[in-house]
Amino acid sequence: MARLPEPAKLEWKEDGTPVATSFDDVYFSLSDGLEETRAVFLKACGLPEGWQSVPSYTIAELGFGTGLNFLATVEAWLKSTTGQNNWLHFTSVEKHPMSPQDAARALARWPDLEILAAELIAQWPVPALGPHRLVFPDWRVTLTLFIGDAEDWLNTMDFQADAWFLDGFAPAKNDTMWAEALYPLMARHSKKGTRIGTYTVAGAVRRGLAAAGFTVAKAPGFGRKRERLEASWPGTEETGAPDLPLMRPTPKKIDRLVVIGAGIAGASVARSFALRGLPVDVLDQAQAPAQGASGNPIGLVMPRLDAADTPQARLLLHTYLFARRFYTQHGGGLAMRVDVEQAAQSEKDVQRFEKLLADPPLPDTTLTGSKTGTDVVLTHHDAMMVRPNLLVSELLDHPNISFHGGAQIDDLADLTGRYPENTLFIVTSGLASQSLLSDMDIQMAGRLGQVDWSDQLPEADENRALASGHYALRTGTSLLFGATFEAIAADQMPETSEKARAENLDALKAMSPDLFEALRSAELQSRASVRATTPDRMPIAGPVFHADTLRETLAPITKGAPVTDALSYNTQQCVLTGLGARGFTFAPLLAETLAAQAFGEPLPLSRKEYEQVSPTRFLIRALRKG
């Protein structure tokens, strides 16, 4: 299977209605698609009344298409809700994504939606397989769009719907969107009382819903359609097997968040929770934010692309794509788009790059490549060059966030005792997380990273970024290059060295002899910091637990038996650490994941993706190995 989804193939009617040529069907009613959405989906699901008295409401949709249903829902949401902290969560699936240009053209026929449509188009996701999280804080809305098959979406994503919009192309023309296997999966993702709206009355749909346990009834149709269906779920939410990765902790009432650590992890967490209206205290032992690994003057946000379509590959890709959107929204202009030229540094890299170009995970608007002899170079279009030390402060600059420097935190239990009961604590303090959370038995190692730079170069005509093991970033009068990645003892303070500078200079010369020559008469500065890395080089994000207690619960794993008891964890504490050299890429989406867990929202990661960062993964792997 190709890693790029097949795009929507369109023809346009004279009135501007898009037609999917693969299914010979229109995307919305020829009479009035917006009114059809209001009647067939919103009214059928009891909206807007249904979301008035709840803090969080989730709508699931089969068939995202142009995004018209989403925008119509947002319009109704904004007109009807008065609360400051209630949120709408819209999750949908689309196998054949439209381009943003085609979506804008289709939506242009409704001037009343122009402003909302422009916001959606600005965040329109890159066509890459898997889940894409879009956050609209001014609307108090999240959109989680899964690009791929509906059955994959329902089998891998975590959400419980309050309402369903079934809006695939006609069952006679696109039977996979109405396959019998989908209805039991929908039931699994439904709350008691969940309502369903759809335009079709096809017998297979009625029978499929009824067989899965839904109560089904016909209702007056819209436009030229005489009838449509409404349904509801009378059952209860399924509990399922024990949650081994602790992907879905039970939400509890939270009145305040305390974040320990003011690097990019802490700043991203603070911002995600603050956007949801929660007051946040950020504590750090330094007097100012970003004094550790997040404090370099220039940094690079670029993807790590794997040749195979694995859960880790998707996680790496989607954290990068979300980071681009996050910094564009909240970075205050401190994140600049830049094309990164990434040269292969080994024969293994050459083989990986060739596989990526033969079956790319991203479209050619985002990823291209070239080969000269045995040299292969990837170009990552619209990656980001950031000002880390300033960006962290920008993220913390929010009315709901208070920064407290000079905080000496040696005992987390003592800290929790100083705050009210409904306070959530999230530890984001890098390598120091090991001592603060000693009961978790977190295994991390420190890696010393030195960067060198000069601010004395002639003004650059444009930003430039190179990568090949090390990286070089040229902007304005500055050139920064590095970084080393050497082991450092836990009790050793980071110090710069001439040896590290020589390594960085050698790498710069190999990447770009012209940039190396430009530094001959320039005065260089250096900075060294410690990055916390895990054994598998992937971060840790999720609830805190006691390792000895959890080891007893998971003991059946050693005998190949299933775990039957629920896992215990600390409902008041979470952790985000071990981001290694990719902190600015990993942090935003993992912070969003922690917020979704805390508030019981649909998660932005699939189960297999979350398992890559689960706090329990090392313990589970060790038990499986005996």
Say which CATH number the domain at 29 has: 3.40.50.150
Average pLDDT estimate for 145-162 = 97
pLDDT of residue 361: 97
> Is the confidence at residue 173, as pLDDT, over 90?
no
- Residue 114's SS3 state is helix
- Give the CATH number, domain containing residue 423: 3.50.50.60
> Is the confidence at residue 293, as pLDDT, over 70?
yes
Q: Residues near 296 by Cβ (< 8 Å), separated by ≥ 6?
A: 388, 389, 451, 480, 527, 529
517 within some domain: no
CA angle, corner 143, sides to 142 and 145, nearest 5? Answer: 155
pLDDT of residue 279: 98
Together in a domain, 53 and 124? yes
Average pLDDT estimate for 356-365 = 96
Together in a domain, 148 and 266? no
User: How many other CB atoms sit within 10 Å of the CB of residue 303?
Assistant: 25
Say if residues 90 and 144 touch (Cβ distance below 8 Å).
yes
pLDDT of residue 1: 64
User: How many other CB atoms sit within 10 Å of the CB of residue 447?
Assistant: 21
pLDDT of residue 215: 96
Strands, E assignment, 405-444: 423-427
Query: Domain containing 140: what range?
Result: 10-232
**Average pLDDT, whole number, for the chain?**
94
From the list 159, 170, 223, the residue with the least C-alpha distance to 198 is 170
Band of pLDDT at residue 497, cut at 50, 70 and 90: very high
Average pLDDT estimate for 70-87 = 88
Q: Give CB contacts under 8 A, 24+ apart, made by 208-211.
A: 208/178, 208/180, 208/182, 208/183, 209/183, 211/180, 211/183
> Is the confidence at residue 391, as pLDDT, over 70?
yes
**pLDDT over 70, % of the chain:** 99
pLDDT of residue 31: 63
Q: Domain boundary at 198, 232, 266, which?
A: 232
DSSP string, 320-366: HHHHHHHHHHHSTT-EEEEEEEEE--SHHHHHHHHHHHHS-SS-TTT
- Residue 431's SS3 state is helix
pLDDT of residue 600: 96
pLDDT of residue 239: 67
> Is the confidence at residue 68, as pLDDT, over 70?
yes
pLDDT per residue as tens digits for the range 195-235? 999 999 999 999 999 999 999 999 988 877 789 999 999 98
Structure-block tokens of residue 496: 């710069």
From the list 437, 389, 388, 395, the residue with the least C-alpha distance to 577 is 437
Q: How many domains does the chain have?
A: 2
Average pLDDT estimate for 189-198 = 96
pLDDT of residue 371: 87
* DSSP character at residue 563: P
Average pLDDT estimate for 117-134 = 98
608 within some domain: yes
pTM of the model: 0.96
Structure-block tokens of residue 307: 């040749």
Average pLDDT estimate for 115-128 = 97
> Is the confidence at residue 82, as pLDDT, over 80?
no
Q: How big is the chain, counted in residues?
A: 626
477 within some domain: no
Together in a domain, 154 and 266? no
From the list 293, 181, 282, 185, the residue with the least C-alpha distance to 233 is 185
459 within some domain: no
101 within some domain: yes
> Is the confidence at residue 545, as pLDDT, over 80?
yes
Together in a domain, 227 and 272? no
Cα separation, 432 vs 580, in Å, equals: 13
Helix (H) / strand (E) containing 115: helix 114-122
pLDDT of residue 410: 87
496 within some domain: no
317 within some domain: no
Q: Domain boundary at 199, 232, 265, which?
A: 232
299-301 and 227-232 strand pairing: unpaired
Together in a domain, 138 and 276? no
Q: Residues near 260 by Cβ (< 8 Å), separated by ≥ 6?
A: 266, 283, 284, 409, 412, 415, 425, 426, 427, 428, 429, 436
pLDDT of residue 326: 98
Band of pLDDT at residue 26, cut at 50, 70 and 90: confident
Together in a domain, 119 and 216? yes
Together in a domain, 127 and 270? no
Together in a domain, 207 and 279? no
Say if residues 60 and 163 touch (Cβ distance below 8 Å).
yes
40 within some domain: yes
Band of pLDDT at residue 344, cut at 50, 70 and 90: very high
Q: Measured in whole angstroms, how far is the alpha carbon of residue 575 from the centre of its chain?
A: 17
Together in a domain, 227 and 260? no
Together in a domain, 416 and 552? yes
- Residue 413's SS3 state is helix
Together in a domain, 270 and 139? no
Band of pLDDT at residue 107, cut at 50, 70 and 90: very high
Angle between helices 114-122 and 68-80 (to 10 degrees): 120
Together in a domain, 204 and 283? no
pLDDT per residue as tens digits for the range 233-253? 998 766 678 999 999 999 999
